[in-house]
Chains A and B, each alone.
Chain A
Amino acid sequence: MKYSSQRVAYWFFAVCMLLFSLQLVYGFLMGFAHIGYDGLHDLIPFNVARSTHTNLLVMWLLAGFMGAAYYIIPEEADREIISIKWAYVQLIAFVIVGVTAIVGFHFEWWEGRKFLEIPRPLDYLVVVDVLLFIGLIGGTIWKGHRYTTTSIVLFFGLLTAALLYLPGMINTDHQTHDSYWRWWVVHLWVEGVWELIMGAIMAYLLIKLTGVDREIIEKWLYIIVGFTFLSGILGTGHHYYYIGTPRYWLMIGGVFSALEPLAFLGMAIYALAMAKKGGKSSTNRTALLWTLGTAVMSFVGAGFLGFAHTLPQVNLYTHGTLVTAMHGHLAFWGAYACLVLAIITYSMPYLTGRKLADTSTNIFAFWTSNIGMVSMTIAFGVAGIAQVYLERKMGLDFLLVQKEIEVHFFGLILAASLFTIGIIAFVYNFIRFGAPVGEVRGAE
């Protein structure tokens, strides 16, 4: 660790671990509800569990991105964060807003719009909090001694992510408009600006872990994120096929979204190539493992499984079925969850000063959680394909089909248990690192 203000990252990561663990509990609640054990229905009905599950996911990923930025930016910009005090204020405010939202869901204080359930008054607080965060990061880069491509791309990604939160706050009386703007947030986040954040964090990790020349890595960073936008912006059209919008979206959305996997493929090839090229025998091989895991699993989950249902002819049948849940899980896991776990794995030895980098616990966590998540994806996938055939192609009743595919949810719960064991190992490893008292090297 070069600067003492990087320490604030530790607390963001600790919040990540906590919210992530809670997210899994709600996942199990829904898994059991699908096989008929909905004993908590009166307390936590399915829609409460679902909003909590997905919002905790988004929150802990954002906390991870923020922590990553607080860790990376001082090093890249070569100075302390402009105000440590405000960074802690920003963290505490984030946690308070997040917890209020989650508790509120349990009392039906929400907007029933998938992924954007946070009620309006809290939306404004989110905006204020994120502005503070952007100000702190931007100010640090501005006053820093060095402008690197990595920090600029990271900043641009965070800034546009903040801006794209706003379309989700447009009030409308029309279901089609509602859905139209919702995708500006949901799609343009995960298949647009979050990929910038991902690209920048990956670039940083690869520079540190492989020792390949910064110029080469950053050049590829531009090409990949350039490709992301080239395909991803008009690729939004793959959500405008069947919501009451014009037919031309079938063509536009189909063509451009079909190109989106290339950005993920590019990212995977580039990460693997850099890792191979780098001669540096890394001191933190587990962090490299998580980094390459991100590269590969994001291609499989987002690129490959996204492509599998993105063409309008296929999507007509799979739209709004468990096939979507299959893709959603592996894509979020591969691209963003693994990424946050990679930066945590990389930074913890520096933040805490304990050399627990290549512990067998973390390596176990990597393999167990990944195998678990792939199995979960298979379970969702089989259930989803069966649902598509029985319900959409044969015309059987929804509930009858759900009975038919119940067994796959049993499989899902088994796979999720394996996955959870992996995550418990990761969290345990995190706790073992202890408090952030790592030595500060200072500017070189």
Chain B
Amino acid sequence: MLSKSQAKAFFLIGTVGFSLIFVGLTVDTFQRIPEQTNQKNMTAEVVRGKHLFEQKNCMGCHTILGEGAYYAPELTKVFERRGEAFIKAMLKDPDSMYPGQRRMTNYNFSDEEISDLTAFLKWIGTLDLNGFPPKPDLVRSASPTATGDTSLEQVVLKTEDRPLVFNQMCVACHSLNGQGGTVGPALDNIGSQRDITYLTKWLKDPMAIKPGTTMPKLPLSEEDIAELSAFLSSLKGSR
């Protein structure tokens, strides 16, 4: 059995040796980070956004790169998931985007601050994270990148034929084929309930049709609205 001085030597040699290896790996890692993280796209805007993110402690509710708190959605891929317009609207007035849900602080950001934060979230989504966040492997999500490979997914989810804005914004509050949020009603049968004129008007300004409704006036372009109302009127309870 080891004597006490041998045990001490084991401790000292092990500690010093592994510390040196660790420092070496750190140096190597820092040389590789720029390429892996698209550092060339880290504009001044992105950097300002990063510092704002830190100053407001967004990590105290959200996770980013999987680090932070477990109270609010993971933000690494939020730009791809929700799109620019939605994020900007969310940062402008969080309460309007998810009425009656868990609350996010309203920071009264200026437009410049909002674009800084959005730029940061856009950049963070382009990092090569060795596969994180994982693509749901039991059922593919209603995300714009989902591709149906198996027959099960073909039946449950065909999301590629939807307008991109729908997959980004509308599913935050509405579900289609059982996927999506529950703030607003499911839209599976909306085409039988409403016609295209109504839908166009509704999307332009829900308040004008139904004062006091909790569906916000979303930042949609004319083309978006035309595409969406055509799509919605085709939803007649079928898959």
Residues of A in contact with B (beta carbons under 8 Å apart): 30, 33-34, 36, 38, 41, 45-48, 50-51, 108, 110-114, 117, 149, 173-180, 182, 215, 218-220, 222-223, 225-227, 229-230, 233-234, 236, 240-250, 252, 316-317, 319-322, 324-325, 387, 389, 392-400, 402-403
Contact = CB atoms under 8 A, between A and B. Distances in A.
A320 B63 contact: yes
B67 A114 contact: yes
A229 B130 contact: no
- The 3 A-B residue pairs whose C-beta atoms are closest, nearest first, are A47-B60, A395-B141, A112-B57
Given A223-B2, A392-B136, A397-B171, A230 B18 contact: yes
A392 B73 CA distance: 12
Interface in B31-76: 32-33, 36-37, 39, 42, 47, 50-51, 53-61, 63-74
Nearest to A325: B70
Interface string B131-142: 111111111111
A45 B60 CA distance: 9
A429 B68 CA distance: 36
Contact of A399 (B39, B102, B139): B102
Contacts of B68: 114, 320
B99 interface: no
Interface in B67-101: 67-74, 98, 101
Contacts of A223: 2, 7, 10-11
A222 B10 contact: yes
Contacts of B190: none
B49 to A, nearest CB: 10
A398 to B, nearest CB: 4
B166 to A, nearest CB: 14
B180 interface: yes
B226 interface: no
B130 A38 contact: no
A108 B136 contact: no
Contacts of A317: 134
Contacts of A234: 18, 21-22, 25
Contact of B138 (A113, A236, A393): A393
B4 interface: yes
A246 B54 contact: no
Interface in B116-165: 124, 127-143, 146
Contact of A320 (B29, B56, B70, B101): B70
Nearest to A397: B181
A112 B59 contact: yes
Nearest to B11: A226
Given A177-B33, A242-B65, A245-B36, A399 B98 contact: yes
A50 B50 CA distance: 20
Nearest to B103: A41
A48 B129 contact: no
A130 B169 CA distance: 50
A108 B56 contact: yes
